[in-house]
Amino acid sequence: MANAPKVYDFPLEKVEAQVVTYLKTARGSSTVADMIAGTGLPKYQVEQAAKAALDEYAGRLKVTESGELLYYFPDGMRSTVRGAGPSLRRFWKRFVSIAARVLSLLFKIWIVAMLVGYFVAFVALIVLAIVASFAASAAGNNNSRGRNRGGGLGGGFLMLRLLDLLLRMWFWTSFFKGASNSRKPRDPNGRAFYKSVFGFVFGDEDPNKGWDEMERRHIIAYIRSHKGVITLEELMALSGREPDRANALMNRILLEFEGEPGVTENGTVIYTFAELMRTTDSGQRSLGQVPLQNPASKRIVPFSANKRRTNGWIAFFNTFNLGFGLYFLLIGMTQGAAALAKTGPLLYSFTGRLLLNAGVGNPIPLLSIALGVVPVVFSVLFFIVPFLRRFRLNRENARIRDEALRGRILAQVLSFPSRVDPRDVKPSGTALDPRNTAAAGRKIIDRLAAAMHAEPIPLEKESVFAYRFSELERELADLDAYRKGVDLKRYDVGATVFDSGR
């Protein structure tokens, strides 16, 4: 008997596989007793495996009239973590993540070189062409000085070299300055130019990084200050999630923190977390210490940390490159060799003759591709990436605002379920407010009322209804009575009986 395996010491995956095999044959709701009878496993092992199955197979809980807890799986016994589909999704997610980081690094290097390089090249060509034009005019008006077009080209070349040198010094000085100050507090208004370009195209660090851990800590704090008991509706208010996503979160924390689903004598589904209640700090278990109202929320993700003026200059540089790229591309396509004549467009003809003097036999393809197609394609891509990112950010921020508003509304519903009036939903005065708070609030309340079978209350001279959540009132009263019956003394850790340091 001493060497017999313990009921509490078992391979969870193996037991879960047996329970899942039974549930696949059951094809419906099952009680713990059904699973015990179908597998022949001990009750404790079945209960733990059932919680794991709830999480992995997106299961739900039901309560019968007799107060029996039923496990059911509305989407069938399709695993969310095993099998070809989930494995392929995980592989694809990892592949996309790695590929995105590699391509992002390469693209960052490329975009700065292209943005600055083409801007410098176009500005230099403009300056050269203007200088050469003035030189040619001066040579025609004053032949006695012997000034000719070649002298203009020489002066333009010197100006090109000087401009190129200055821009290189500015860019690399900014680059190394940013690198040397990387350990200092970041100043979004004075950071290096290349970082501003990256921020414009790819955005900056996510302000909600680490949010999952922060949310878990807040939920745990709420559970501990409410006698280790929480309901799905309370979790929805704390997280702002809709029922399906809140249920998935509940399944996860049940598994992670050894919680237990249960039913009160009056049929209210509750989730208890006894293991979270054992603490030496009784203050963390003070009833109501963590309220539902005004829970922590995600922050709105900004487009970038740049000043609006900085983004404007970056957009100007790229628009400048796009405009001159189109200039070289369209002239080469429409005028061809005729554009190389002295009477052709000044900048195009000057650049073409410059290439001819450099030994390029036919400069038109080079002009069309190097100064036309490449900068045009780059500039369009440069604008498309932040445009798509802004579109994605708008959707993400809209979801963040909806969750924040849903959490506020649910907290209000749980506080006063007897009368919930959509007209009472007011803006919070923060960036978390939806564009139309009243309409968004009314939509959320209507959906909650339909899901929780609330009773509509007609409002005088109004086209909207208030609601009474009668069933929720009953559940809240039952929950309050249950919590009052929980004796926190059973969670006391007691006096120290052994100290390894002595």
Where among 285, 309, 339 does a domain terminate?
A: 285
Residues 6+ apart with CB under 8 A from 242: 236, 406
Q: Which residue has the higher pLDDT, 419 or 499?
A: 419
Tell whether the model's pLDDT for residue 4 goes beyond 50: no
- Domain-embedded: residue 469: yes
**Least-confidence region, from 67-76, 78-87, 102-111, 270-279:** 78-87
Distance between CA atoms of residues 48 and 18, nearest Å: 12
User: Which residues does 301 contact at the CB level (< 8 Å), separation at least 6?
Assistant: 203, 206, 207, 208, 393, 396, 397, 400
457 domain-assigned:
yes
Residue pLDDT, tens place only, 343-361: 778 888 888 888 888 888 8
Which range marks the domain in which residue 68 is found?
Answer: 12-72
- Reduced to 3 states (helix: H, G, I; strand: E, B; else coil), residue 295 is coil
Domain end call among 265, 285, 305: 285
- Residues forming a β-bridge with 61: 71
Q: What is the pLDDT of residues 419-466, one digit of tens each?
A: 999 888 888 888 899 989 999 999 999 999 998 889 998 887 667 789
Q: pTM surpassing 0.85?
A: no
Confidence band for 148, pLDDT divided at 50, 70 and 90: very low
Does the residue 232 lie in any domain?
yes
Position 498 in a domain: no
Task: Quote the pLDDT of residue 281.
Answer: 59
Given a cut of 80, is residue 136 above it in pLDDT? no
d(CA 56, CA 49): 10
The answer to whether residue 119 is domain-embedded is no
Q: What is the pLDDT of residues 166-186, one digit of tens each?
A: 555 555 545 444 444 444 434
Residue 143's pLDDT is 54
Which stretch of 31-35, 135-139, 390-394 has the lowest confidence by average pLDDT? 135-139
Confirm whether 440 is domain-assigned.
Answer: yes
- Looking at the predicted structure, is the pLDDT value of residue 400 above 90? yes
Which residue among 259, 285, 311 closes a domain?
Answer: 285
Q: Are the C-beta atoms of residues 259 and 271 closer than 8 Å to each other?
A: yes
- On whether residue 41 sits in a domain, the answer given is yes
Q: Is the pLDDT of residue 149 over 70?
A: no
If one counts the domains in the chain, the total is 3
Q: Encode pLDDT of 301-354 as tens digits.
A: 999 888 888 899 899 999 999 999 999 999 988 888 888 887 778 888 888 888
206-253 tens-digit pLDDT = 888 888 888 888 898 899 889 899 999 999 999 999 988 999 899 888
Q: Is residue 148 part of a domain?
A: no
User: Which tokens belong to 290?
Assistant: 């963590």
Mean pLDDT of the chain: 80
Q: How far is CA 239 from the centre of its chain?
A: 16
User: In this structure, what CATH number is given to the domain that contains residue 280?
Assistant: 1.10.10.10
